[in-house]
Structure 1
Amino acid sequence: MTITQLSYVLAVAENQNFTKAAQKCFVTQPTLSMQIQKLEDQLDVLIFDRSKKPIELTEVGKKIVTQARNIVNESYRIQDIVDQEKGFIGGEFKLGIIPTVMPTLLPMFLNNFVKKYPKVKLKIEELTTEEIITRINDGHLDAAIAATPLENDTIKERVLYFEPFVAYVPQNHRLRDKKTLETSDLEIEDMLLLEDGHCFRDGVINLCKAFKSHNDDKFQLESGSIETLVKLSNEGLGMTLMPYLHTLDLNEKDKKNLHYFSEPSPAREVSLIYHKSELKMQIIEAMQDVISGVIRGAIAFQNVQIISPISK
């Protein structure tokens, strides 16, 4: 049994196809098939049910894949040990970032990080929290930046900052004349929301006490971006909530529509998250250090109440 064979098994389990798995592993399909066949012969079990289209894992195959993933991840730790011993911070690092954090945080730290750690080859993807958790557990992401806490036993979290919610209240809205808002002022029925799948949407829903009385038949608008929500709000279609860093890019006219909450301000916790196996920790710690350095000057809020990003 070899690490290579186990890696091939993981590739087929993910792609459910021998040809695609071989392409991902940069080997020929016969080579990959032969190595998996050798492993099955050695174990005297079938890992894959080849009669199914697409290919499926057998029941024992599912257990083997779980253990294989642990073994392959642990094998990577050897290189980590060597890198840490040498003080080397470099190599490929795959980072996921949720959509409501990507446009504000990434420009703040990316240039600094690249200049400070030129040997790190960053691969960054914009992904939902659900996609991030799946990819971290499958070994396809080294870390991610997401709203927390996630209450996931396989994921570790390092808090980067707390980002308050800010209300965007257009002209002629019922809350327009209130200088400071209370969370009890919010009503989900006149709230413009991000589309399903965004954890910030779930945070807003969790914040709105009136959600329990929400009627799905009532008029409601959803969008894929906060920028679009602001434009819809300006058309008088309702108010919306924004993460604080998004308010910094508004024009001066739109900034007049911002309303802040009384303390403790509702806020989201944004963290650097990674698998409990703690691979590539030297890069994770370097990234945390850079982000913490640039974020201090942008967010001065301290007295906050963390709103869960988990859909309830």
Structure 2
Amino acid sequence: MTITQLKYVLAVAEHQNFTRAAQKTFVTQPTLSMQIQKLEDQLDVQIFDRSKKPIELTDIGAKIVHQARNIVNEANRITDIVDQQKGYIGGEFKLGVIPTVMPTLLPMFLTNFIKKYPKVTLKIEELNTDQIMERLEEGHLDAAIAATPLENPNIKERPLYYEPFMAYVPHNHRLSSKEVLEPSDLDTQDLLLLEDGHCFRDGVINLCTTPRNKDEEKFTLESGSFETLVKLSNEGLGMTLLPYLHTLDMPIKEKELFKEFKEPSPAREVSIIFHKSELKMQIIEALRSTIAGVVKGAITFQNVQIISPLNK
């Protein structure tokens, strides 16, 4: 049994196709198939059910894949140990970022990071929290930036910053005359929310004290865009909440309509998260320090209350 064979098994398990797995592992399809067959013969079991389209794992195959992932991760740790000893910060690094953080945070730190660590090749992908957790568990991401806490024993979280919620309240809204808001002021019936799947939506719902009554909704909205929510608010269809960093580049006319919450301000915790195996920690730490450095100048709020993105 070799590490290479196990990597081939993991590739086929991921892509459910021998040809695609061979392409991803940069070998010919016959070579990959032969090595997996050799491993199956040695173990005297079938790892894959080749009669299914797409290819599926057998029951024992699923257990083998789980263990193979642990073994490959531990093998990668050897290279990681050597890199850390040498002080080397470089190589490919796969980073996932949730959609409500990507457009504001990425422009703030990416140029600085690339200049400071030119040997790192960042591969950044916008993913929702569920996708991030799955890919971290399976080893397809090295780290991610997401709203926490997530309470997963296999994932470690290192906070980067705390971002307050800001209320966008148009002139004709019932709360427009209030200088400072409290969570008890919010009514989910006139609160415009992001579509399902966004952790910021879940955090806002957790903040609200009144439950959402779907029978009384005049319309439903499926939008992943804060800009859309603001435009609908301007049309008199309700108010909305945005993370603080999203408010910085908005037109002055719209900035004037934002209201803060009474302290401690409701906020989300944004963290860099990674698998408990702690691979590529030197790059993770480089990212953390770079981001913390640039965000510190943008967010000065201290007295905040973290609203969990987990559904209550």
**TM-score interval, normalised by the smaller of the two chains:** over 0.9
TM-score by length of 2: 0.98
Which amino acid in structure 1 is aligned with residue 302 of structure 2? Q
SS at structure 1 position matched to 2:112: helix
Whether 2:29 is the aligned partner of 1:9: answer no
Aligned to 1:104: 104
Aligned to 2:57: 57
| Aligned positions of 1:123-134 closer than 5 A | 123-134=123-134
Aligned to 1:18: 18
What displacement does 1:215 show? 2.3
Aligned residues between the structures: 311
What displacement does 1:197 show? 0.8
Query: CA separation in 2, counterparts of 1:82 and 1:151?
Result: 31
What displacement does 1:138 show? 1.3
| Aligned positions of 1:180-195 closer than 5 A | 180-195=180-195
Quick check: 1:192–1:222 contact (8 Å CA) kept in 2? no
Which runs of 4 or more aligned residues in structure 1 lie more than 3 Å from their structure 2 counterparts after TM superposition?
none
SS at structure 2 position matched to 1:166: strand
**CA shift in 2, pair 1:55/1:175, >3 Å:** same
Which amino acid in structure 1 is aligned with residue 115 of structure 2? K
What displacement does 1:25 show? 1.0
User: For 1:41-70, what per-residue CA distance to the aligned partner results, in whole angstroms no more than 9, with x for missing partners?
Assistant: 000111111111111111111110000000
SS at structure 2 position matched to 1:95: strand
Query: CA separation in 2, counterparts of 1:147 and 1:286?
Result: 19
Aligned to 1:215: 214
**CA shift in 2, pair 1:257/1:222, >3 Å:** farther
Query: CA separation in 2, counterparts of 1:93 and 1:128?
Result: 19
Whether 2:55 is the aligned partner of 1:70: answer no
| Aligned positions of 1:108-257 closer than 5 A | 108-211=108-211, 213-216=212-215, 218-219=217-218, 220-257=220-257
What displacement does 1:214 show? 2.1
**CA shift in 2, pair 1:222/1:177, >3 Å:** farther
Quick check: 1:169–1:233 contact (8 Å CA) kept in 2? yes
Residue identity (%): 76
Query: CA separation in 1, counterparts of 2:177 and 2:305?
Result: 24
What displacement does 1:153 show? 1.1
Aligned to 1:300: 300
SS at structure 1 position matched to 2:297: coil
User: For 1:243-276, what per-residue CA distance to the aligned partner results, in whole angstroms no more than 9, with x for missing partners?
Assistant: 0000101111001110110011100000000000
User: For 1:283-306, what per-residue CA distance to the aligned partner results, in whole angstroms no more than 9, with x for missing partners?
Assistant: 000111111111111111111111
Which amino acid in structure 1 is aligned with residue 259 of structure 2? H
Aligned to 2:32: 32
What displacement does 1:216 show? 4.6
SS at structure 2 position matched to 1:163: strand
Quick check: 1:95–1:144 contact (8 Å CA) kept in 2? yes
**CA shift in 2, pair 1:216/1:126, >3 Å:** farther
What displacement does 1:217 show? 5.1
Query: CA separation in 1, counterparts of 2:245 and 2:213?
Result: 29
Query: CA separation in 1, counterparts of 2:213 and 2:68?
Result: 46
TM-score by length of 1: 0.98
Query: CA separation in 1, counterparts of 2:53 and 2:221?
Result: 40
Query: CA separation in 1, counterparts of 2:199 and 2:234?
Result: 24
Quick check: 2:189–2:216 contact (8 Å CA) kept in 1? no
SS at structure 2 position matched to 1:270: strand
Which amino acid in structure 2 is aligned with residue 7 of structure 1? K
Query: CA separation in 2, counterparts of 1:165 and 1:221?
Result: 20
Quick check: 1:169–1:240 contact (8 Å CA) kept in 2? yes
Query: CA separation in 2, counterparts of 1:104 and 1:246?
Result: 6
Deviating more after overlay: 218-227 vs 172-181: 218-227
Query: CA separation in 2, counterparts of 1:103 and 1:260?
Result: 22
